[in-house]
Structure 1
Amino acid sequence: MRVIMFGYQTWGHRTLQALLDSGHQVVLVVTHPKSEHAYERIWSDSVADLAEKQGVPVLLRNRPDDEELLRSIERAEPDLIVANNWRTWLPPEIFDLPPHGTLNIHDSLLPAYAGFSPLIWALINGEREVGVTAHRMNAELDMGDVVLQRSVPVGPTDTATDLFHRTVDLIGPIVTEALDLIASGQAVWTPQDTSRSSFFHKRSLEDSRIDWSWPAEALERLVRAQCDPYPNAFTHHRGERIRIVSAAVSEGRYGGTPGRIFIREGDGIVIVAGAEARSGRLPGLVIRRVRTEDGTELAAADYFRTMGGYLTARP
């Protein structure tokens, strides 16, 4: 088949490599220009560089809304478009143009976690598995019929980085298998159960800010979800922002006001957490390592030399 690829960052790079290795003909690649957005500087293998090395024509676009792009797609006469991590909506005059439509590769187990940063949101929410879905694109973002899904388990200490590496390795096999099914006419398209769908926005700085009214279990997952190289979860101490690099749920149960710097436990410092912390029946968050604004990383016990005072969402 003649294939056009829309994609960006490492997800798009893995998709393009799978297409180049598949025996199908990649006739055009459309990707975004480089970005300084914090989340787009991470996992930033260049789709454009890979395409150019293989002699595949490349178009750079922020949005797919110009006539030149549409004419280029029409001239390429694709049998199929494959998209992965294209950051804006594709219009129907593009996604419906090829005879086989557009296959979108999304890093969640749809219909849950449509939209952006699905691995981070899934980890924060305590999901037991994550994965990759290949589905047909339609007018509703990430809502088209599914042809393939593959999943991996989430372990109790997994970080977003661990889950990225585990799921990005699914992209090549799922792209290859989906294209074989489509080309052979054996693809079975299953409608998504919209009653189970959820849609998430792009993450920003605000989403890494710690809210001490969250239960400790959720805060511990937030720290793992915002591990390096992602922007770390952060809080404020005496007006200065500190990033939480490593944390755990306390063994003991601690009562009081959320955000209180309370007591040593093991190798860390317990912070009272949870909207119902006043009951004394909830665990706290044990902070183990912090990073200051100048990039210095410290054991929490070395940073918090005295107990008392509060960690706050804002200075």
Structure 2
Amino acid sequence: MSGDRGRPARAIVFAYHDVGVRCLRVLLDAGVEVPLVLTHANAPGETIWFRSVAAVAAEHGLRCVMPTDPHDPALLAEARAAEPDFLFSFYYRQMLKQDWLALPPRGAFNMHGSLLPRYRGRAPVNWAVIHGERETGATLHRMNEKPDNGAIVDQCAVPILRDDTAREVFGKVTVAAEIVLARSLPALLDGTAVERPQDLSQGRYFGGRRPEDGRIPGDAGARQIHDLVRALAPPYPCAFLCIGGKRFLIERTLHAPAPPDALGSGLRLLSDGFGLWLIAADGGALRVLAARRDGDAIALSARGFVALFPNRWIAADND
């Protein structure tokens, strides 16, 4: 478990988010020296619900920087002078160029939040939930200049339950990432790790998501809507539908039998003053457990909905 010339193995670490925190701790627990940690400053306006890599680095007395441009020549020179054996990227948000990837003689490795080659690219947990997947996981793979397509070192699957939110799934993926790194690290350090190339035909690349992408399609079925809602549930920007030009943010739903007076067609909301339902274009019903009108801090209750719309049935204008 040593680096060159008999010293402990040394790694430059790019890390952010909960996966970054847990994987950095795995390296430190294994005795890996970390001369430099690169992370992100929290973006203005972003909901920060995850733990801080910078805080963990400070606890352990590690040098930690938050560069706007990680390819700053001065940073590369500092890293080169540290003579790292490895480079690890744990949920770091920027692509690293060849100058970084070629720097460590024993390789650069990334932890990705899916079962590669499926869900390469951005927001893999959210995309998996949107598509109704029943499992996902974490994959440790060798890095190259193309995103998420290097050879796989190891991966670990976790289940996705039918009502899990993306945040709940992300918690499972974080544990999977810790498991993968902890069980792979000894072989990486002693040079016996076996890597297998990805069959890229078995997956595809996904891009990032914007808040506008949360608009519930007017022709979507109940299952598709439920998957979108739980994929975008807080702390993420919520799925929404529009009524009279105003957005209603749907935070949590459950499949439920349609109320007996659920008449009409198309995407619509119903309240009897006690419960709030979303009726999909296919006639399937979802009980709305949490919702807000955009701009309101207070949750929208069933009685509040009736107060806004006394006729109880409101068709959405999401087409």
Task: Give the gaps of 5 or more residues in structure 1.
Answer: none
Contact 1:48 1:58 in 2 (8 A): yes
Change (3 A) 1:120 1:79: same
Measured against aligned partners, the alpha-carbon deviations of 1:10-40 in whole angstroms (never above 9, x if no partner) come to 22111211111111111111112221253xx
How many Å separate the matches in 1 of 2:206 and 2:263?
A: 33
Structure 2: distance between partners of 1:270 and 1:69: 52
Residue 53 of structure 2 is matched in structure 1 by: 47
Offset, 1:245:
2.1
Q: How does 1:163-174 map to 2 (within 5 A)?
A: 163-174=169-180
Q: Is the 8 A contact 2:10 2:34 kept in 1?
A: yes
Give distance in 1, aligned partners of 2:278 and 2:92. 41
In the TM superposition, 1:241-280 aligns within 5 A as: 241-252=247-258, 257-261=265-269, 267-273=275-281, 277=282
Counterpart contact for 2:220–2:280, Cα < 8 Å: no
The aligned counterpart of 2:218 is 212
Q: Is the 8 A contact 1:264 1:270 kept in 2?
A: no
Measured on the aligned residues, the alpha-carbon RMSD in Å equals 2.3
Give 1:128 shift.
1.0
Q: Distance in 2 between matches of 1:238 and 1:72?
A: 57
Partners of 2:99 and 2:134 lie apart in 1 by 38
| 1:112 alignment partner, SS class | coil
Q: Kindly, what percent of the aligned residue pairs are identical?
A: 34
The match for 2:75 among 69, 73, 85 is: 69
Alpha-carbon spacing, 1:117–1:42, altered in 2? closer, same or farther (3 Å):
farther
**Structure 2 residue 242 is the aligned partner of structure 1 residue 240:** no
Correspondence 1:174-253 to 2 at 5 A: 174-252=180-258
**Match for residue 6 of structure 2?**
none
Q: 2:128 aligns with which of 115, 122, 133?
A: 122
1:284-311, Cα deviation, whole Å (9 max, x unpaired): 4443432122121133464144233321
Q: Decide whether the 8 Å contact of 1:262 with 1:272 is kept in 2.
A: no
- Does structure 1 residue 3 correspond to structure 2 residue 11? yes
Structure 1 window deviating more from structure 2 (176-185 vs 100-109): it is 176-185
1:83 Cα deviation after fit? 0.5
What is residue 295 of structure 1 aligned with on the other side?
Answer: 297
Q: Secondary structure at the match of 1:312?
A: coil
After superposing the two structures, state which structure 1 stretch, 264-273 or 10-19, moved more.
264-273
Q: Does 1:306 align with 2:314?
A: no
Which aligned pairs between 1:15-34 and structure 2 lie closer than 5 A? 15-34=23-42
Alpha carbons 1:236, 1:312 under 8 Å: kept: yes
Q: Which amino acid aligns with 1:246?
A: R
2:137–2:158 contact (8 Å) kept in structure 1: yes
1:209, distance to aligned residue in structure 2 (A)? 1.8
Aligned with residue 162 of structure 1, among 163, 168, 172: 168
SS at match of 1:297: coil
Matched residue SS, 2:100: helix
CA–CA separation in structure 2 for the residues paired with 1:202 and 1:150 = 23
Q: Secondary structure of the residue that 2:257 maps to in structure 1? A: strand
Secondary structure of the structure 1 residue equivalent to 2:213: helix
**Structure 1 residue 152: Cα displacement:** 0.8
How many equivalent pairs are there?
305
The structure 1 residue matched to 2:141, chosen from 135, 145, 148, is 135
Distance 1:288-1:34 versus aligned 2 partners, 3 A rule: closer
Could you report, residue by residue, the CA deviation over 1:35-85 in whole angstroms, capped at 9, with x for unpaired residues? 1253xx334322122212212112221332221111111011100011111
Distance 1:24 1:89, change over 3 A: same
Alpha-carbon shift at residue 265 of structure 1 (Å):
12
Distance in 1 between residues matched to 2:219 and 2:48, nearest whole Å:
30
Q: 8 Å contact 1:290–1:300 — kept in the other structure?
A: no
Query: Which of the residues 102, 106, 111 maps onto 2:112?
Result: 106
Tell me, yes or no, if structure 1 residue 57 matches structure 2 residue 63: yes
In the alignment, the residues of structure 2 paired with residue 169 and residue 290 of structure 1 have an alpha-carbon distance, to the nearest angstrom, of 30
Give, in whole Å, the separation in 2 of the partners of 1:289 and 1:121.
Answer: 22
More off after superposition, 76-85 vs 54-63: 54-63
Q: Are the aligned partners of 2:90 and 2:112 in contact in 1 as well (CA < 8 Å)?
A: yes
What is the match of residue 92 of structure 1? 98
